[in-house]
Structure 1
Amino acid sequence: MAEEEVKEEKKKGGKGLIILLLVIVILLLVGIGVMAYLLLSQQGASHANGDAAEVHGSAEHGEHGDAADAGHAKNYSPKYKQYEPPSPEAPPGYFVMDKFVVNFNGDGQAKYLAVDLQFLTYYPQLIADMEHLRPILKNDIQRLLRNQHFNQLSKPEGPDELRAELLQVARHVLEANSIYPELLEDVYMTRFVMQ
């Protein structure tokens, strides 16, 4: 009889230990779930408030940073050359190209096209890098200008269409040299003459 009582106590003790372990495991799982929820909700709140610490990051789809938070700084993929982001109050910088005078298809009304260009960016380091790309830029821009037609350029929207094409050519050169093309904001024609 004493042996039976000892066996029953061992069975009860074993069951109690198993129940205790199950309770501990359940409490641990609940605690891990609560911690995960809190961490994820904090990350979501910081992204919603724009508190992201990194200005340059992955933006494979061409997304730009919020202009109110980062000024003119852009988010872009690390596959491109990384530049120090400009301060929000940074003035624009300009990369000035040599004067272009080319023969073009004047359609019997003009022979020469003269254009002066200035490219706008907020990244001063980009201006220095564009200086190294000047011969490529000059070649590609001259090719574009030589292929223009007087009838197209004389339309009211003609110069604006040319500006868009010039910006695309310059951005293509930047991208071919592992520089994020959207860092080049715009191009301005300070002279546009057809003679």
Structure 2
Amino acid sequence: MAAKQPAVEEEVQEEKKKGGGKGLIIVLLVVIILLLAGMGAMAYIMLSGGDHKEGDAATDAVHGEAAHGDDGHGDAHADAGHGEEGHGEGHAKQYSPKYKQFEPPLPDAHPEYFVMDKFVVNFYGDGQAKFLAVDLQFMSYYPQITGETGEMEHLRPILKNDIQRLLRNQHFNELNTADGPDHLRTEILEIARKVLEKHNVYPDLLEDVYMTRFVMQ
């Protein structure tokens, strides 16, 4: 019976070794599971954080656009403030690109004048007068129109011809009224604008015409 004792002890030792090996494996499995779970949690947090950042960025962009009044109609609002006549830009005008395009004048630009040669013509005096003398100055805020080398200077002969024809066809009785000279001014301005338009210049760039002399005799 005494001889069997060492064998029993060896078996016990073997069982302990087997049990210890199994315990170590279990511990390793638990550690691995915990590591995997921790890595999964970290990945989730990182991904969730990225989504929040993108969402915050999108929100900030929307708030930024709202703060600047950009509701998708910014250009429309800007254009509404600068209509055909360029309101809000001083004397600058916006017009069709089919006409010649000129550098717009500064908001505080002074008017420019184009002085025509003196007109002295025979007209229908109805026995009251024979001659009509008129001095004219055309006004524009665009020096490209009325300047020394502007469009009207190049068109001077045509303007003179068409205005002389208009003056010769006037009647004393029509001009010899309180608003007679003003009607004549309107007709002269229309004549000049038609000449400009015919030569590809936007007619309304020519603002007005003034008679510095008006004599019937």
Both structures adopt the same fold (TM-score exceeding 0.5)? yes
Q: 2:178 — aligned with what?
A: 156
CA distance in 2, matches of 1:117, 1:142: 12
Structure 1 position 95 matched with structure 2 position 95: no
Give 3-state SS (helix, strand or coil) of 1:70's partner: coil
Tell me the distance in 2 between the aligned counterparts of 1:159 and 1:145.
11
User: Matched residues in 1 for 2:109 and 2:201: separation?
Assistant: 20
Which 4+ residue blocks in structure 1 deviate beyond 2 angstroms?
Answer: 45-52
- Supply the distance in 1 between the matched residues of 2:113 and 2:102 (Cα, whole angstroms): 16
- The within-5 A match list for 1:49-88 is 49=78, 63-66=84-87, 69-88=88-107
CA distance 1:51–1:159, change in 2 (3 Å): closer
Q: Which residue of 1 aligns with 2:73?
A: 44
| CA spacing shift, 1:155–1:46, aligned 2, 3 Å | same
Q: Which runs of 5+ in 2 are unaligned?
A: 1-61
Structure whose CA Rg is larger: 2
* 1:93/1:43 CA distance change after superposition, 3 Å: farther
Deviation at 1:65, TM superposition (A): 1.3
- SS state of the match for residue 141, structure 1? helix
What is the TM-score with the length of structure 1 in the denominator? 0.71
Write out per-residue CA displacement over residues 144-180 of structure 1, whole angstroms, 9 at most, x where no aligned residue: 0000000000011100000000000000000000000
Name the structure 2 match of 1:187.
209
Distance between the aligned counterparts of 2:136 and 2:187, measured in 1?
Answer: 13
Higher fraction of helix? 2
**How far apart, in 2, do the equivalents of 1:159 and 1:82 lie?**
33
Q: 1:105 to 1:184 in 2, by over 3 A?
A: same
Q: Aligned residues, how many?
A: 150
CA drift of 1:42 comes to: 3.6
Alpha-carbon distance between aligned partners in 2 of 1:46 and 1:93, rounded to the nearest angstrom: 32
TM-score of the pair, normalised by structure 2: 0.64
- The 3-state SS of whatever aligns with 1:192 is strand
Partner of residue 129, structure 1? 151
RMSD: 2.4
Q: Which amino acid aligns with 2:166?
A: L
Cα distance between partner residues in 2 of 1:74 and 1:65: 4
% same residue: 66
- Select 2:198's aligned residue among 164, 176, 185: 176
Shift of the 171–45 alpha-carbon distance from structure 1 to 2, 3 Å rule, reads same
Q: Shift of the alpha carbon at 1:126?
A: 1.0
State the Cα distance separating 1:51 from its structure 2 match: 9.0
